[in-house]
Amino acid sequence: MKPLTYSNPAFNPALFAINPTEPSADAVPEGAFWSQRGRQQYESRPDRFRRGRLLEERAAREQVLEAFDAQYGDGPDGEVEDG
């Protein structure tokens, strides 16, 4: 479950890149993608980088993590406790 745990906070920088003072800004600007892989991801699916989509995805992952913790518990450093 660790990859999901680590991926959820990655939504925050993407959301931060959306200018909150510009009312019409509802997506990560194209110029925010500086790596080749990032540009490819953006060009292939720009809809994935809209504010609503990012918020939905972050919330969905959080629900999965909460369900996992409720079922299995959460030990030190995110490890599952025995027992």
Q: State both tokens at 23.
A: 């009312």
Average pLDDT, the chain: 83
The reported pLDDT for the residue numbered 80 is 52
Q: Of the given ranges (2-6, 39-43, 75-79), which has the lowest mean pLDDT?
A: 75-79
Q: Please give the pLDDT value at position 44.
A: 96
Mean pLDDT of 33-37: 92
Q: Cβ contacts of residue 48 below 8 Å, gap of 6+?
A: 41, 54, 57
Residue 72: pLDDT over 60: yes
Could you tell me which residues come within 8 angstroms of residue 61 by beta carbon, excluding any fewer than 6 positions away?
4, 7, 8
